[in-house]
């Protein structure tokens, strides 16, 4: 009997442990340590996060705001993704030294390249300040008053909480306003580029393979943090020295097998795991399809031009990649949510929730939550859709409308803030606008405009359409605007901005392009945004109460974790393949053989550098290969999201075994609904990284800095 119970318990722990979750490093001891150990972890929660001695978290900074990185030497050497270092690599590239194309390697520290404005942030310690933030808030009458008081408490705490002069205090909310944590952080500002493989390795597979498994991308780049002589943050200076981290990761080349424990530390950006069914349904049925359709149309036009014309390709490559990334993600997300029956699963959860509320006698407090959500989401639908059309068409995908919108803001500034503010903004605009037009092609955007304005007129909610778009002849309007508007060239734009405020306002208001933007923006700011904000605030308040109730009515076994909010988290799981479709099974490891299978000579996505082909042919893998093959990528059940790119993947002992860079297509809905059967994160195997640094780039100087452990198997 006891054994059966034990087995049962083990089974429960095992299955639950595959459920995902992004956990707070300072709270692992009580929440997760046991489960992590049952999955195979060999270190303690205190080894991961400690205030008293160095711990793993000291080796995991946030990289340049949006990604994660890890320290891999005692001389400040840092590893992150190629796509996270992409802008920096691009900025240093010229026609003579195209580091994107050819890669870059610093064989001496003097050759490393400084990066303006790049930052790397470490978490020193985490403290719960919930009581202090909510002090005096709960008995305030309105949501607006509550939010104001919370903001006051937060700024007071930021100023008064103890920290060293070079550190910062940052307070973030967890569980939608039910918990507040203070992060004491240190931000380093002298960060230099050390190494990057050619894009044919670092971005191998490009958009076609993006969000897709099986994957064969060596998505990594290397940087070095420099500090002042006291190891403190300092702006760039030639007298700075390599930063000595409190911890750096030993690198294991032993390799893991399916079902082995892994964990990932990093800074996941945003998830919405506790949305009610009605909201998820709205994303699947209404919002995602609209956004996908808009981007689909814009991307098709751009792609057509990019394929014909190399200059346009250079102008649009980076914009295209960034628009395409979430276009593809939303498609995978909608598909996954439907396939996993996420709405039905949420409804089931809500039914059980309702019962728990009744059983706990909490009907007055929580009994109406779900009905209120239902009402609110029904009411917000058209406003949310109109908002998405405005954002996607005007602010994101039609460049002419976007530059026009900047003039709309300028006119508003004059109205609301006066002459001086107008002059300052105008000066800024003139200075910055050259960069915009450098990558703008009126012919491309004309074709995008015609498609998107037609979609806007036909598909966005009718009640928010300006009269200009009623019974629209899209082709005629497009021709009119692209023939007559001054917004379609840098010289025209500058001409519009020439003169005093009165002249400028007169000129722009007689421009036909501007007239369209103004009518779209006026309706948006008066009829859409205020009501959307009001309903959205209501939804946030509801979500906060819903979260409070979920926390109160759940047990530890329910594994309630806070949504991602760009703060440091730990996620863990196992290396595991998955079954994307009937009769198909994906194994969890890929190798260099797969790179060669995908190889298309001269192709912009699937070309392979000659040197890599040579190493493949001679099987010259050094100590990184396994039985004549070279590992490239692997997947596991770690629950990650955007922002986790560059995150260290660790083995049971806390050794570095890879770095995270993506998720699998069938599981991209994990931001809303984590399904352990098919949600997987994608990592590049550290042995492939070392192989490229060592054998491909011959950068022995870097290999010698590392602490490599483990034996090849
Ligand atoms: N999908 C990954 C992420 O969301 C990688 C994006 C970069 N790669 C690309 N081909 N665009 O960031
Ligand atoms: N590729 C993402 C990133 O850049 C990671 C993800 O969304 O899985 O952070």
DSSP states along 10-55: HHHHHHHTTS---B-GGGHHHHTHHHHHHTT--S-HHHHS-SSS--
Assess whether 359 and 238 both reside in one domain: no
Residue 83: φ, ψ to 5°: -70, -15
| Cα(390) to centroid(ligand 1), Å | 25
Determine which one of 219, 445, 675, 694 is catalytic.
219
Nearest atom in ligand 1 to the alpha carbon of residue 83 is 7
Assess whether 98 and 232 both reside in one domain: yes
| Cα(647) to centroid(ligand 2), Å | 10
E strand or H helix at 91, and its extent? helix 82-91
Euclidean distance between CA atoms 113 and 364, whole angstroms: 62
At residue 457, the pLDDT reads 98
Pocket lined around ligand 1, Cβ cut-off 6 Å: 83, 206-207, 210-211, 321, 325, 642, 645, 662
Which of 215, 247, 175, 38 is closest to 567 using CA atoms?
175
Q: Hey, is 349 helix, strand or coil?
A: helix
Which ligand has an atom closest to residue 209 CA? 1
Which of 102, 116, 100, 123 is closest to 49 using CA atoms?
123
Assess whether 220 and 360 both reside in one domain: no
* Residue with CA closest to ligand 2 atom 2: 642
Assess whether 57 and 204 both reside in one domain: yes
**CA angle centred on 156, ends 153 and 157, rounded to 5°:** 85
Which of 331, 347, 351 is closest to 339 using CA atoms?
331
Q: Hey, is 78 helix, strand or coil?
A: strand
Euclidean distance between CA atoms 477 and 483, whole angstroms: 10
**CA angle centred on 350, ends 559 and 23, rounded to 5°:** 20
Whether residue 524 lies inside any domain: the answer is yes
* Residue with CA closest to ligand 2 atom 5: 642
Whether residue 55 lies inside any domain: the answer is yes
Nearest atom in ligand 2 to the alpha carbon of residue 269 is 9
* Domain edge (last residue) among 249, 281, 301: 249
83 is catalytic: yes
Whether residue 632 lies inside any domain: the answer is no
Tell me: cis bond preceding 336? Omega within 30 of 0 counts.
no
Whether residue 154 lies inside any domain: the answer is yes
| Cα(269) to centroid(ligand 1), Å | 14
Look at the block and give the residue holding tokens 């966005």: 460
Q: What is the pLDDT of residues 280-338, one digit of tens each?
A: 999 999 999 999 999 999 999 999 999 898 889 888 988 898 999 999 999 999 999 99
At residue 5, the pLDDT reads 53
Euclidean distance between CA atoms 445 and 452, whole angstroms: 10
Bridge partners of 126?
Answer: 183
Which of 637, 623, 633, 636 is closest to 713 using CA atoms?
623
Whether residue 200 lies inside any domain: the answer is yes
Residue 31: φ, ψ to 5°: -85, -45
* Domain edge (last residue) among 210, 233, 249: 249
- Can you count the helices (H) and strands (E) in the chain? 28, 23
Euclidean distance between CA atoms 703 and 443, whole angstroms: 49
Residues in the chain: 713
| Cα(80) to centroid(ligand 2), Å | 12
Whether residue 231 lies inside any domain: the answer is yes
Euclidean distance between CA atoms 567 and 128, whole angstroms: 14
219 is catalytic: yes
Pairing of strands 261-266, 648-650: antiparallel
Which of 381, 208, 212, 389 is closest to 298 using CA atoms?
389
Pairing of strands 241-242, 77-80: unpaired
Euclidean distance between CA atoms 640 and 660, whole angstroms: 9
Pocket test for ligand 1, best of 645, 669, 671 (most atoms within 8 A of CB): 645
* Residue with CA closest to ligand 2 atom 1: 662
State how far the alpha carbon of 353 is from the alpha carbons of 69, 152, 545, 556, in Å. Answer: 39, 34, 13, 16
Compute, in degrees rounded to 10, the torsion defined by CA atoms 479, 483, 487, 492.
180
Residue 707: φ, ψ to 5°: -110, 95
State how far the alpha carbon of 528 is from the alpha carbons of 378, 383, 579, in Å. Answer: 15, 6, 43
Determine which one of 55, 199, 334, 645 is catalytic.
645
Assess whether 481 and 357 both reside in one domain: yes
For 495-518, give one letter per residue: b (16+ CB within 10 A) or e: ebbeeebeebbebbeebbbbbbbb
Instruction: Report whether residue 73 contacts ligand 2, using a CB cutoff of 6 Å.
Output: no
Look at the block and give the residue holding tokens 């100590």: 623
| Cα(397) to centroid(ligand 2), Å | 22
| Cα(668) to centroid(ligand 1), Å | 12
Instruction: Report whether residue 643 contacts ligand 2, using a CB cutoff of 6 Å.
Output: yes
Pocket test for ligand 1, best of 324, 661, 670, 682 (most atoms within 8 A of CB): 661
Residue 12: φ, ψ to 5°: -60, -50
| Cα(211) to centroid(ligand 1), Å | 7
Euclidean distance between CA atoms 529 and 450, whole angstroms: 25
What is 180-206 written as a DSSP string? EEEEEEEEE-EEEEEEE--HHHHTTTH
| Cα(515) to centroid(ligand 2), Å | 39
Q: Hey, is 398 helix, strand or coil?
A: coil
Euclidean distance between CA atoms 676 and 682, whole angstroms: 14
Nearest atom in ligand 1 to the alpha carbon of residue 329 is 1
**CA angle centred on 643, ends 151 and 257, rounded to 5°:** 140
Look at the block and give the residue holding tokens 């009769």: 583
- Write the DSSP symbol of residue 118: -
Nearest atom in ligand 1 to the alpha carbon of residue 645 is 12
At residue 13, the pLDDT reads 46
Number of domains in the chain: 2
Euclidean distance between CA atoms 698 and 272, whole angstroms: 44
Nearest atom in ligand 1 to the alpha carbon of residue 205 is 10
SS3 per-residue string spanning 552-603:
HHCCHHHCCCCCCCCCCEEEEEEECCEEEECCEEECCEEEHHHHHHHCCCCC
Determine which one of 83, 216, 247, 639 is catalytic.
83
- Decide if 569 contacts 181 (C-beta within 8 A): no
Residue 237, number of CB atoms within 10 A of its CB: 11
Assess whether 221 and 359 both reside in one domain: no
Residue 124, number of CB atoms within 10 A of its CB: 16
Assess whether 245 and 365 both reside in one domain: no
Which of 661, 669, 686 is closest to 210 using CA atoms?
661
Which of 243, 193, 244 is closest to 221 using CA atoms?
193
Instruction: Report whether residue 662 contacts ligand 2, using a CB cutoff of 6 Å.
Output: yes
* Residue with CA closest to ligand 2 atom 8: 662
Instruction: Report whether residue 642 contacts ligand 2, using a CB cutoff of 6 Å.
Output: yes
Euclidean distance between CA atoms 19 and 37, whole angstroms: 16
Assess whether 388 and 525 both reside in one domain: yes
Q: Six-digit token pair at 440?
A: 């703008």
Assess whether 356 and 240 both reside in one domain: no
- Write the DSSP symbol of residue 303: H
3-state helix, strand, coil in the chain (%, to 5): 55, 15, 30
- Decide if 227 contacts 188 (C-beta within 8 A): yes
* Domain edge (last residue) among 506, 529, 549: 549
Bridge partners of 684?
Answer: 633, 659
At residue 712, the pLDDT reads 54
Residue 586: φ, ψ to 5°: -100, 125
Instruction: Report whether residue 153 contacts ligand 2, using a CB cutoff of 6 Å.
Output: no
Pocket test for ligand 2, best of 638, 661, 680, 682 (most atoms within 8 A of CB): 661
Whether residue 11 lies inside any domain: the answer is no
199 is catalytic: no
Whether residue 120 lies inside any domain: the answer is yes
Pairing of strands 120-128, 62-63: antiparallel
Pairing of strands 251-252, 708-709: parallel
Compute, in degrees rounded to 10, the torsion defined by CA atoms 56, 62, 68, 73.
-50
Which of 593, 587, 596 is closest to 200 using CA atoms?
596
Give average pLDDT by consecutive 10-residue segment, the chain, 713 residues: 51 56 95 94 98 96 97 98 93 87 97 96 97 94 92 97 97 96 98 98 96 98 98 98 98 96 98 98 98 98 92 86 95 96 97 97 97 98 98 98 98 97 97 93 98 98 95 97 98 97 98 98 98 96 97 93 98 97 97 98 95 98 95 98 98 98 97 96 98 98 95 56
At residue 31, the pLDDT reads 87
| Cα(645) to centroid(ligand 2), Å | 5
E strand or H helix at 405, and its extent? helix 399-417
Domain that holds residue 525: 351-549
Assess whether 67 and 198 both reside in one domain: yes
Residue 628, number of CB atoms within 10 A of its CB: 9
């Amino acid at each position: 009997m006891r054994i059966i119970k034990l087995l049962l318990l083990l089974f429960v722990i095992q299955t639950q442990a595959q459920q995902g979750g992004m956990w707070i490093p300072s709270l692992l001891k009580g929440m997760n340590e046991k489960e992590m150990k049952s999955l195979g972890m060999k270190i303690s929660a205190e080894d991961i996060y400690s205030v008293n001695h160095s711990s793993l978290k000291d080796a995991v900074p946030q990289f340049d705001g949006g990604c994660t990185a890890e320290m891999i030497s005692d001389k400040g050497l840092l590893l992150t993704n190629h796509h996270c270092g992409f802008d920096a690599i691009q900025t240093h590239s010229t026609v003579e030294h195209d580091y994107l194309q050819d890669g870059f390697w610093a064989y001496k520290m003097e050759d490393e390249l400084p990066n303006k404005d790049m930052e790397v942030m470490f978490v020193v310690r985490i403290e719960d300040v919930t009581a202090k933030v909510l002090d005096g808030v709960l008995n305030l009458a309105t949501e607006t008053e509550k939010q104001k008081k919370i903001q006051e408490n937060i700024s007071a705490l930021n100023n008064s909480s103890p920290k060293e002069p070079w550190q910062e205090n940052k307070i973030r909310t967890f569980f939608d306003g039910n918990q507040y944590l203070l992060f004491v952080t240190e931000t380093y500002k002298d960060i230099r580029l050390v190494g990057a493989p050619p894009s044919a390795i670092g971005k191998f597979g490009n958009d076609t393979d993006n969000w897709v498994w099986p994957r064969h991308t060596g998505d990594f780049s290397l940087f070095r943090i420099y500090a002042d002589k006291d190891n403190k943050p300092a702006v760039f200076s030639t007298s700075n020295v390599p930063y000595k981290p409190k911890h750096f990761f030993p690198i294991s080349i032993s390799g893991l097998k399916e079902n082995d424990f892994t964990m990932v530390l990093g800074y996941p950006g945003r998830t919405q795991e506790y949305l009610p069914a009605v909201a998820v349904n709205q994303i699947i049925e209404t919002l995602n399809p609209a956004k996908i359709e808009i981007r689909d149309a814009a991307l098709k036009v751009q792609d057509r031009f990019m394929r014909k014309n190399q200059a346009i390709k250079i102008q649009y490559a980076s914009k295209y990649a960034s628009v395409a990334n979430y276009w593809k993600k939303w498609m995978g997300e909608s598909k996954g949510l439907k396939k996993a029956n996420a709405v039905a699963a949420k409804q089931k959860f809500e039914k059980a929730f309702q019962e728990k509320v009744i059983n706990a006698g909490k009907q007055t407090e929580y009994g109406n939550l779900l009905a209120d959500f239902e009402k609110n989401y029904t009411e917000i639908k058209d406003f949310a859709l109109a908002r998405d059309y405005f954002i996607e068409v005007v602010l994101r995908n039609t460049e002419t409308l976007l530059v026009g919108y900047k003039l709309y803001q300028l006119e508003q500034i004059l109205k609301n803030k006066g002459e001086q503010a107008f002059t300052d903004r105008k000066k800024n605009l003139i200075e910055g606008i050259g960069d915009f037009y450098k990558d703008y092609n009126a012919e491309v955007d004309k074709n995008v405009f015609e498609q998107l304005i037609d979609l806007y007129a036909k598909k966005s909610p009718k009640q928010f359409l300006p009269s200009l778009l009623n019974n629209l002849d899209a082709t005629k309007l497009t021709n009119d605007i692209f023939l007559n508007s001054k917004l379609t060239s840098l010289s025209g734009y500058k001409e519009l901005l020439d003169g005093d405020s009165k002249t400028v306002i007169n000129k722009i208001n007689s421009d036909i392009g501007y007239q369209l933007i103004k009518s779209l923006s006026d309706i948006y700011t008066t009829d859409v945004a205020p009501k959307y904000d009001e309903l959205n605030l209501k939804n946030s308040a509801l979500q906060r109460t819903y979260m409070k109730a979920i926390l109160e009515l759940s047990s530890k076994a329910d594994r309630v974790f806070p949504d991602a909010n760009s703060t440091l988290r730990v996620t863990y799981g196992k290396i595991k393949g998955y079954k994307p479709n009937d009769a198909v099974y994906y194994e969890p490891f890929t190798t260099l053989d797969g790179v060669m299978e995908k190889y298309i000579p001269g192709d912009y996505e699937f070309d392979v550098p000659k040197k890599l082909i040579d190493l493949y042919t001679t099987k010259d893998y050094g100590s990184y290969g396994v039985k004549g093959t070279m590992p490239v990528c692997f997947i596991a059940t770690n629950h990650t999201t955007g922002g986790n790119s560059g995150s260290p993947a660790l083995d049971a002992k806390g050794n570095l075994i890879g770095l995270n860079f993506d998720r699998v297509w069938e599981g991209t809905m994990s931001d809303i609904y984590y399904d352990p059967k098919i949600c997987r994160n994608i990592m590049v195997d550290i042995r492939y990284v070392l192989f490229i640094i060592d054998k491909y780039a011959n950068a022995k100087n870097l290999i010698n800095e590392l602490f490599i452990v483990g034996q090849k198997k």
